[in-house]
Amino acid sequence: MFEKVLIANRGEVALRIHRACREMGIKTVAVHSEADANAMHVRLADEAVCIGPARAADSYLNKSAIISAATITGVDAIHPGYGFLSEDADFAEMVEEHGIAFIGPKPEQIRMMGDKLKAREFAKECGLPVVEGSDALQSIDDAKEKAATIGYPIIIKAKAGGGGKGMKIANNEQEIATAYMMARAEAKASFSSDEVYMEKYLQNPRHIEVQILADSYGHVVCLGERDCSIQRQNQKIIEETPSPALNEQQRKELCELAKSAMEKIGYVSAGTLEFLFENGKFYFLEMNTRLQVEHPITEAVSGIDIVREQLRIADGAKLGYTQDDIKLNGCAIECRINAEDPETFVPNAGKITEWHAPGGLGVRVDSEIYSGYKIPPFYDSMIAKLIVHGRTRNGVLMRLHRALEEFVIDGVKTTIPLHQKIIAQPEYIDGLYDIHWLENNIRNFR
């Protein structure tokens, strides 16, 4: 097994990876920006290397600095976490060229899935249903022509998209020009590529995704689905498994579809296939070739440590079980807690003066925060994930209420009050929500 792994990330996911490594007897190397010298995972790691100034472009996205840190410390492998370089095929290739294992899929798989148009082509070849859409758009007139064939509303999306960026909706021909220009500008700024394409905009879908694990010997297992429909500005806020919207038959169908697609490309490592689900039909959206923020809810119901499996698979181990061995127990919900004003969503970095995380049966908190920690203003505002597991959805909701009530975070504003309001809404309690439900109803929450 690997002896030493470099964690090319920060925040809760860096700590998450550190924990898996420690439990496997693997030494860890933390890399951090000047702003993160006091981070928890930096303190806990066996070694730490400062890779640059606070700005992510100068540190967590600085490939050569990370490779140098890996070479100097003599690691066997690099885990990229999520975000930053986790879906950068060039980085994965660089890592391998230096004789270091990249903990994730093969660079060509990352490259293909990072191009949403190629991913759509692949999905069609595998028999995965996709939303009606276009190829790359050439001009405003081209966009108008294609939208007329597909039918309004449509959504213009960045080919290299991610994180909900570079997506603009047009409800009619008059809105096309603005949507096209804005999507291109945002795509250019976020992904340095202004290529965009178009999809039919579904009105009331749910976002349902499937967790896959695959080893290098062609074994693929599906660890069930996650419903991530509670979103704001295309960003997930609460996720749950199983989805309250699926019956056993649909769940099985989705799992089989995802598995056969992964077998077809010989996918290796953990991955997630994302779908929209509307009127009983699934539509493939994209694949994420990395660990997801919401992976712990799958761990809760499956009992499988996904990061541990990523490490084992990267080291050439076989999956020690088949699909039949996987039993998904109960229900789990995750709340993403952000350091933001719960009404305006303005980020609220600062010093944590008091911190008390909830505990007890079925409660897990993944966070880097400790009392006295100063949240730097340079990065994502998510500061904790609260994951609650139990036998029934009702039981989990009760447990979630009490866990949110126990949570004490002083010094910065957080989105805990928003979570408390969401889980008290009758539609949420009944599992009757789609991707627009939160934004359409948030004004009426009391």
Residues with a known catalytic role: 290
Residue with tokens 């930096």: 42
Distance CA 349, CA 214 (A): 38
162 binds ligand ADP (CB under 6 A): yes
When the beta carbons of 357 and 435 are compared against ligand ADP, the nearer one is 435
129 binds ligand ADP (CB under 6 A): no
164 binds ligand ADP (CB under 6 A): yes
Subset of 219-258 contacting ligand ADP (CB under 6 A): 231, 234
Neighbouring C-beta atoms of residue 179, cutoff 10 Å: 23
Q: How far is the CB of 42 from ligand ADP (least distance, A)?
A: 29
Q: How far is the CB of 236 from ligand ADP (least distance, A)?
A: 8
Residue among 205, 224, 271, 358 that touches ligand ADP (CB under 6 A):
205
Residue with tokens 């579809």: 257
When the beta carbons of 19 and 345 are compared against ligand ADP, the nearer one is 345
Amino acid at 226: R
Distances (CA, A) of 77 to 39, 81, 268: 22, 12, 16
In contact, 322 and 259? CB cutoff 8 Å: no
Q: How far is the CB of 39 from ligand ADP (least distance, A)?
A: 26
When the beta carbons of 5 and 228 are compared against ligand ADP, the nearer one is 228
Site stretch for ligand ADP (CB under 6 A), options 154-162, 291-299, 352-360, 378-386: 154-162
Q: Would you state the torsion angle of the CA atoms of residues 300, 304, 310, 312, taken in this order, to the nearest 10 degrees? A: 150
155 binds ligand ADP (CB under 6 A): yes
201 binds ligand ADP (CB under 6 A): yes
Beta bridge partners of 196: 158
DSSP letter at 98 equals T
235-241 and 354-356 beta bridge pairing? unpaired
131 binds ligand ADP (CB under 6 A): yes
When the beta carbons of 201 and 355 are compared against ligand ADP, the nearer one is 201
Site stretch for ligand ADP (CB under 6 A), options 7-15, 31-39, 141-149, 197-205: 197-205
285 binds ligand ADP (CB under 6 A): yes
Please give the structure tokens belonging to residue 384: 């904790």
DSSP secondary structure string for all residues of 156-195? EEETT--TT-S-EEESSHHHHHHHHHHHHHHHHHHHS---
Give Cα 201 distance to the centre of its chain: 22
Contact set with ligand ADP (CB under 6 A): 131, 155, 161-165, 199, 201-202, 205, 207, 231, 234, 274, 276, 285-286, 435
